[in-house]
Structure 1
Amino acid sequence: MQDQPSSEPARWGDLTTRIVSGLAIAVVGIAAIWAGGPWFEMLAIFVAGLMIWELWSMIDPDRPVPALILGVLTSTLVSGQLTIDTSPGLLLFLIVPAIGFALSRRMGLMFAIYALGIQLAAWGLASFRNELGLVWIVWIVGIVVISDVFGYFAGRTLGGPKFWPRISPKKTWSGTIAGWVGAACLAFIFMISTDAGPMLILLSVLTCFAGQMGDIAESALKRRVGVKDSSDLIPGHGGVLDRFDALLGATLFMLAVTVLSYFTGLSF
């Protein structure tokens, strides 16, 4: 789900910067995923706080103080929830959305919904690492990464019809479908390496699509507020939200699948 091809220099002009920044992110991410426990939790907590800071800064850039306060409060609440590890404690995640909604001068509901999703995704991702172990957190992250890589190169090489031009005018169907193919290929690798059944292929493609919708949702938000990137923290990638919007969507989808599985007894 990537850009339409244009001239050769424009098409690949940002590739070097993206690769260097991407490698730096990968090193930190892989180390935290491998270590697990408090190390991965700290990364999830830190990134969640940065996302909330970026979210407020996009919506209300003239008031930086609430952005900092809400970012720190988010990290505190996610950290606390991971410590107490009780389902009723998830109600604490309503605090930041409620405060943001009350303080906002515009798009308060948008902030509240997005902030709730960010907190749930950060908590969910850390919980998946703790409860499901290394293999399946690698699967979730791998789905997002391979979708992005396949989509980037297929979209910029093949181009073609745009996926949702009103929301994200540079995304193409070729990149979208390439992401699904990449997710299916990764699922096949995990099938032959674990005891997972064929259902994993469908689940992987759906998780990939959820990640793509996370990307689209952030594009819609940026289009609404009139910014190109959520911030300039990551050279070649924009902000933390820009880099991890797909992971937000994929993680929230898997949280929904987990809840559905728990209450219905269905096995995925």
Structure 2
Amino acid sequence: MKTRVITGIIALIIFIPFVVIGGIPLTLLVSLLGLIAVGELLFMKKRLLVSFEALISFLAVIVTILPNAFWASLPAQMFFNKKSLIYFFILLILIVTVLSNNKLTFDDAGSLVLGVLYIGFGFHFFLQARAEEWLAFVFGLIIVWLTDSFAYIVGRKFGKHKLIPRISPNKTWEGSIGGTLIATIAAVSFALVTNFAPEFNPFELIIVTVLLSIAGQFGDLIESAFKRFYGVKDSGNMLPGHGGILDRFDSMLVVMPLLVLMGLT
């Protein structure tokens, strides 16, 4: 527990200044996090990080993460746009299944493509939310951090009924509900005080916040599901007491896209 707290504090000290500054520094940091997250996925799949499919995956996740403004600034958008490049990388991975004589199977290729899109678009919308509406971005962070923290605290103190034991044996209904309740109170209060989303009335804000809190927990469970499938405890060991980048950003990768798609930014 002590290691977990110390690591969390150090990570926040490093991470928060980049979030506050935004722009290119944050884009570089988030791109690095995306590369590490894809590396963790490849590691769980027991694929070499220097393989051709790994290189394709690394390039594809960077393309997916980069902000829309970057692509709009390119002079030859007809040839260098995100959609065409993502399709090109998907096609390359499929070609590898042939050239490798099925050492990289179609299932392997599919999981890599899905993983890259999941990680890439999650971090892409993270950057988009920060760039478009700072207060909405903070609103999303409040939901993710408080849901995660208080689900853990309440679950340890009062948890008796397992949520989905085959996927995540330590999560409980009491922790899940407690985390959502506290996150909703805090996040809705923040939204009402700052008035960053005047088009949403208080009831709508409560509904949206509850949905985002639940979505964040599903993000955590999604990552737990594929860790269990690959037989690993953590996605990585970069953050002592926390695991890897996917372990720490799993909820964020789901909440930030929904934050944007719900029109809060």
- Work out whether 1:206 is the aligned partner of 2:211: yes
Structure 1 residues 81 and 17: alpha-carbon distance in aligned structure 2, compared to 1, 3 A threshold: same
| Segment of structure 1 superposing worse, 168-177 or 77-86 | 77-86
**Which secondary structure state, in structure 1, belongs to the residue aligned with residue 240 of structure 2?**
coil
**Which secondary structure state, in structure 1, belongs to the residue aligned with residue 50 of structure 2?**
helix
Match of 1:35 among 21, 29, 33: 21
Supply the distance in 2 between the matched residues of 1:57 and 1:95 (Cα, whole angstroms). 24
Structure with bigger helix share is 1
Supply the distance in 2 between the matched residues of 1:62 and 1:130 (Cα, whole angstroms). 35
Match of 1:63 among 41, 48, 54: 48
| Segment of structure 1 superposing worse, 233-242 or 178-187 | 178-187
Measure how far apart 1:256 and its partner are.
3.4
Q: Verify the 8 A CA contact 1:143 1:183 in the aligned structure 2.
A: yes
Structure 1 residues 80 and 184: alpha-carbon distance in aligned structure 2, compared to 1, 3 A threshold: closer
Which TM-score applies when normalising by structure 1?
A: 0.82
Match of 1:79 among 66, 71, 74: 66
- Work out whether 1:20 is the aligned partner of 2:3: no
Measure how far apart 1:71 and its partner are.
5.8
Larger radius of gyration: 2
Partner amino acid, structure 2, of 1:209: I
Task: Give the number of aligned pairs.
Answer: 244
Match of 1:240 in 2: 245
Partner amino acid, structure 1, of 2:162: K
Supply the distance in 2 between the matched residues of 1:218 and 1:167 (Cα, whole angstroms). 9
Identity %: 30
Unaligned runs of 5+ in 2: 98-103
Structure 1 residues 70 and 169: alpha-carbon distance in aligned structure 2, compared to 1, 3 A threshold: farther
Supply the distance in 2 between the matched residues of 1:16 and 1:32 (Cα, whole angstroms). 25
Structure 1 residues 62 and 244: alpha-carbon distance in aligned structure 2, compared to 1, 3 A threshold: same
| Segment of structure 1 superposing worse, 188-197 or 205-214 | 188-197
Q: How does 1:174-185 map to 2 (within 5 A)?
A: 174-185=174-185
Supply the distance in 2 between the matched residues of 1:71 and 1:20 (Cα, whole angstroms). 32
Supply the distance in 1 between the matched residues of 2:89 and 2:153 (Cα, whole angstroms). 38
Supply the distance in 1 between the matched residues of 2:176 and 2:59 (Cα, whole angstroms). 36
Q: Verify the 8 A CA contact 1:98 1:112 in the aligned structure 2.
A: no
What is the alpha-carbon root mean square deviation over aligned residues? 2.5
Which TM-score applies when normalising by structure 2?
A: 0.82
